Amino acid sequence: MSTRVEKTQPKDAPPPLPEPLRVAVADSHTHLDMQSGTVEEGLAKAASVGVTTVVQVGCDVKGSRWAAETAAAYENVHAAVALHPNEAPRIVHGDPDGWSRQGARAGGGEAALDEALAEIEALAALDHVKAVGETGLDYFRTGPEGMAAQERSFRAHIEIAKRQGKALVIHDREAHADVLRVLREEGAPERTVFHCYSGDADMARECAAAGYYLSFAGTVTFKNAAPLREALAVAPLELVLVETDAPYLTPAPYRGRPNAPYLIPLTVRAMAAVRGIDEDAMATALAANTARAFGY
């Protein structure tokens, strides 16, 4: 009996294919290199349900090189390159296993960060690289000792995005006020995207006034995410994007199971319901917005 088979599926089994979208969209933020299966398989599965484009995001020098190479190899893959906010303190403190054991290992320092940033800038200059990010501030994983390095790295990424004329992809975890402050102080690039937007409606209004794009992940489908849905409801439609951040943040009802770009339709449908528009209108806006935000 099919219901029984369903129930005995292991918790880490990939969720089934959702009903395809009629209007194709892009997954504005994904990590194909952390998902199971080959890139070809992941892209084909996504395309089969109307997710025809993805932005592949690098989190360190190696991952950013991979993102750039993958974008060069596949027409519908675009790259974003950066040192993740949690990566910068690790580089400065010379400890790949955690910045908190400061001084435990030789190496690192500001020079190591500058060297890594130079590599990121060289990648950012490439044609297939459409954005610099994910960068920003993460006060959830990085403690006070890592904050200075994190903010220095964030400022440097903003400068790179502006020099190279690329979009900026922001990672903001429990650091809303400081992220907005640094953007104000540095002057944000023309196109700035808050990936996995996690602020409330007030912050969404502030972002909208500055012209920042808000990219919504599977979190917007979570039961306890009412403030996020309120933010989506007040954001200008032309500034709204959708993403998976896969393999993380799997949308309901598959929370906890592995995420991948093919699950985007679940989030698009939830977003359309929040906005009170039909799925096709939502998808049409998302597709146009993502292309405009990333300039492809």
Provide the mask over 238-277, with x wherever binding to Zn ion is found by CB under 5 A and - wherever it is not. -------x--------------------------------
Joined together, the tokens standing for residue 89 give 């303190």
Side by side, which strands form the sheet with 213-216? Answer: 25-30, 51-57, 77-81, 129-138, 167-173, 192-195, 213-216, 240-242
What's the min distance (Å) between Cβ of 79 and Zn ion?
13
- If the CB atoms of residues 33 and 279 are measured against Zn ion, the closer one turns out to be 33
What's the min distance (Å) between Cβ of 290 and Zn ion?
15
- If the CB atoms of residues 87 and 134 are measured against Zn ion, the closer one turns out to be 134
Indicate the residue whose CB is closest to Zn ion: 171
What's the min distance (Å) between Cβ of 47 and Zn ion?
21
What's the min distance (Å) between Cβ of 39 and Zn ion?
17
What's the min distance (Å) between Cβ of 171 and Zn ion?
4
Q: How big is the site for Zn ion, counted in residues (CB under 5 A)?
A: 3
Residue of 171, 191, 229, 269 interacting with Zn ion (CB under 5 A): 171
163, 197 contact by CB (below 8 A): no
Determine how many CB atoms are found less than 10 A away from the CB of residue 223.
7
- If the CB atoms of residues 54 and 272 are measured against Zn ion, the closer one turns out to be 54
Site for Zn ion in 118-137 (CB under 5 A): 134
Q: 3, 88, 9, 1: which is closest to 254 by C-alpha?
A: 9
- If the CB atoms of residues 171 and 269 are measured against Zn ion, the closer one turns out to be 171
Contacting residues for 92 by C-beta, under 8 A, at least 6 apart? 99, 108, 109, 110, 112, 113, 149
Q: Spell 78-116 as b/e; 16+ CB within 10 A means b.
A: bbbbbbbbbbbbbbbbbbeeebeeeeeeeebeeeebeeb
233, 200 contact by CB (below 8 A): no
- If the CB atoms of residues 87 and 272 are measured against Zn ion, the closer one turns out to be 87
Joined together, the tokens standing for residue 291 give 């292309």
- If the CB atoms of residues 78 and 171 are measured against Zn ion, the closer one turns out to be 171
d(CA 224, CA 142): 25
What's the min distance (Å) between Cβ of 84 and Zn ion?
7
Instruction: Provide the binding-site residues for Zn ion, judged by CB under 5 A.
Output: 134, 171, 245
